[in-house]
């Protein structure tokens, strides 16, 4: 096996298998990074970033519970955030083998990483967040920002009773639109994932091993698709309509979630899911905070700007 090869593994956590990718570090003292992906992706979304990170880093990237090759969970309530946090705490404890890690989370992976870092700081040295809203400032934005409520309207399509059927009938048009349809036209470039780097020839046939094709195969599996949607269905509070009345907005409860770990937030400013205003007031909850913006990156900054993200993470880790 070549040095720094990325290998695939499974482990049983609370009687359910979690699949994960691993790239071993070169020494026993190599920094350990654990990467949590977001919706509607899987662990392979990190491949460009893994390739861009220093070869001495030990990296572990799981499929979140229910995603891709990780087992769907038994009950829908298992997808509530406290249950997910408890499950991923056990995963981290098991795979880290007593070492402290740097936790990295994007999107839904960040939604789990924020409370995991808050409640289990002993497991980690630092936290890195890529375009994932902190629960406190996100809820505050839902109460006060029409722009954020508008950006969150897509959630209604994902929590509908017929969401699985509609997604399949439309060949996953909503999910493809989120990620960029070019991702499904050809192979994902090995490194920077800008849209300009995507193949433009419509006759180009995607490799069955391309990231886009892997995503489609997992989405077409109904238990997996339902598991992914259950993350939204079990959200503690649903996003109100853009023009929701004040009486409805006042019922939203802003959680108090404080993170004491040194935290780096990497933010693509062209995010379609989150208004940048959700970063306002973040230091109230995360006092040891550094925010770095990328002016041309979108929500998928970890793929589009893998080299940039890797450098920022490396500088922060050392």
Q: Tell me: the pLDDT tens digits for 73-121?
A: 999 999 999 999 999 999 999 999 899 999 999 999 999 999 999 999 9
Mean pLDDT in residue range 4-16 = 95
As a whole number, mean pLDDT of residues 135-145 equals 95
Asked whether residue 48 is assigned to any structural domain, the reply reads: yes
Residue 190 pLDDT greater than 80, yes or no: no
Neighbouring C-beta atoms of residue 114, cutoff 10 Å: 27
Specify the pLDDT at position 30.
86
Instruction: Evaluate whether residue 150 is within a structural domain.
Output: yes
The CA-CA-CA angle for residues 317, 93, 235, to 5°, reads 90
Range with the lowest mean pLDDT among 40-44, 54-58, 150-154, 236-240?
A: 236-240
- What pLDDT is attached to residue 208? 66
Distance, in Å, from the CA atom of 303 to the CA atom of 313, rounded to the nearest integer, reads: 14
Look at residue 189 and tell me whether its pLDDT is greater than 60.
no
Contact (Cβ atoms closer than 8 angstroms) between residue 105 and residue 114? yes
Peptide bond into 40 cis (omega under 30): yes
Q: Is residue 117 part of a domain?
A: yes
Query: How many independent structural domains does the chain possess?
Result: 1
Q: Residue 80 burial by CB count (10 A; 0-12/13-18/19+): exposed, middle or buried?
A: middle
Range of the domain at 141: 6-317
Q: Which two tokens stand for residue 249?
A: 């907005």
Residue 1 lies in a domain: no
Which region, left, alpha or beta, applies to residue 103 given φ > 0 means left and ψ of -120 to 50 means alpha? beta
Between helix 211-219 and helix 222-233 the angle, nearest 10°, is: 90
Of 66-80, 171-185, 240-254, where does the model show the most confidence? Answer: 66-80
**pTM, entire model:** 0.92
DSSP states along 38-89: -TT--GGGGHHHHHHS-TT-EEEEEPPTTSTTSPPPSSGGGGSHHHHHHHHH
Q: Is residue 230 in some structural domain?
A: yes
Residue 178 half-sphere exposure toward CB, CA atoms < 13 A = 21
Cβ count within 10 A of residue 252: 16
Residue 207 pLDDT > 90, yes or no?
A: no
User: Which pLDDT does position 182 carry in this prediction?
Assistant: 82
202 pLDDT band (50/70/90 cuts)?
very low
CATH of residue 261: 3.40.50.1820
What's the mean pLDDT when you consider all of the chain?
A: 91
**Does residue 295 lie within any of the structural domains?**
yes
pLDDT (tens digit, 9 = 90+) per residue, 40-65?
999 999 999 999 999 999 999 999 99
70 domain-assigned: yes
């Amino acid at each position: 096996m070549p040095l720094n090869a990325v290998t695939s593994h499974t482990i049983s956590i609370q009687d359910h298998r979690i699949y994960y990718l691993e790239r071993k570090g070169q020494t026993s003292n190599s920094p350990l990074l654990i990467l949590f992906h977001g919706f509607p992706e899987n662990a392979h979304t990190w491949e460009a970033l893994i390739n861009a990170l220093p070869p001495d880093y030990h990296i572990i990237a799981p499929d979140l519970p229910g995603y891709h090759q990780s087992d769907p969970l038994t009950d829908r309530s298992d997808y509530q955030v406290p249950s997910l946090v408890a499950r991923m705490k056990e995963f981290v404890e098991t795979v880290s083998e007593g070492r402290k890690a740097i936790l990295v989370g994007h999107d839904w992976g960040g939604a789990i990483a924020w409370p995991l870092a808050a409640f289990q700081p002993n497991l980690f040295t630092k936290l890195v967040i890529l375009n994932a809203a902190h629960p406190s400032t996100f809820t505050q934005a839902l109460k006060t920002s029409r722009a954020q409520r508008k950006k969150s309207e897509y959630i209604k399509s994902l929590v509908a009773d017929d969401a699985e059927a509609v997604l399949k009938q439309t060949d996953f048009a909503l999910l493809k639109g989120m990620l960029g349809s070019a991702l499904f036209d050809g192979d994902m470039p090995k490194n920077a994932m800008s849209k300009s780097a995507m193949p433009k020839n419509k006759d180009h046939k995607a490799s069955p091993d391309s990231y886009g094709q892997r995503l489609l195969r997992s989405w077409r599996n109904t238990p997996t698709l339902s598991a992914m949607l259950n993350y939204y269905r079990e959200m503690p509070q649903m996003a109100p309509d853009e023009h929701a009345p004040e009486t409805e907005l006042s019922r939203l409860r802003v959680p108090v979630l404080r993170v004491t770990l040194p935290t780096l937030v990497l933010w693509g400013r062209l995010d379609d899911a989150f208004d940048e205003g959700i970063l306002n007031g973040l230091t109230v909850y995360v006092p040891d905070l550094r925010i770095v913006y990328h002016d041309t990156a979108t929500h998928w900054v970890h793929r589009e700007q893998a080299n940039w993200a890797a450098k920022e993470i490396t500088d922060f880790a050392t």
